[in-house]
A and B are shown apart, each in its own frame.
Chain A
Amino acid sequence: MLHLILFLVFGAVCVAGAVNLLAQRHPINGALSLVAVMGSLAVEYLLLGAEFVAAVQVIVYAGAIMVLFVFVIMLLNAGVEERTTGSRVALLFGVPGMLVGSVLIGWVLLGHGAETVPVGALPGAPKVIAWLLFHDFLLPFEVTSILVLIAIMGAVVLASHPDTEQGKKES
Chain B
Amino acid sequence: MVPISYYLILSGILFACGVTGFLIKRNIISIFMSIELMLNGVNLSFVAFAAQWHALSGQVFVFFVMVVAAAEAAVGLAIIISVYRTRETLNVDQVDLLKL
Question: Which residues of A does B touch, CB under 8 Å?
Answer: 3-4, 7, 11, 14-15, 18-19, 21-22, 27, 30-31, 34, 37-38, 41, 44-45, 47-50, 52-53, 56-57, 60-61, 64-65, 68-69, 72-73, 75-76, 78-79, 123-124, 128-129, 132-133, 136-137, 140, 144, 147-148, 150-152, 154-159, 161
Main SS of chain A's interface residues? helix
Contact of A37 among B37, B60, B84 (CB under 8 A): B37
Chain B interface residue count, Cβ-Cβ cutoff 8 angstroms: 55
Asked whether, in the complex, the Cβ of B33 is within 8 Å of the Cβ of A61, the reply is no
Asked whether, in the complex, the Cβ of B10 is within 8 Å of the Cβ of A123, the reply is no
Asked whether, in the complex, the Cβ of A34 is within 8 Å of the Cβ of B37, the reply is yes
Asked whether, in the complex, the Cβ of B81 is within 8 Å of the Cβ of A140, the reply is no
A21 to B31, CA, bound (A): 10
Q: B residues 46-70 with Cβ under 8 Å of A?
A: 47-48, 50-51, 54, 56-57, 59-60, 62-64, 66-70
Asked whether, in the complex, the Cβ of A56 is within 8 Å of the Cβ of B66, the reply is yes
Contact of B14 among A18, A56, A68, A132 (CB under 8 A): A18
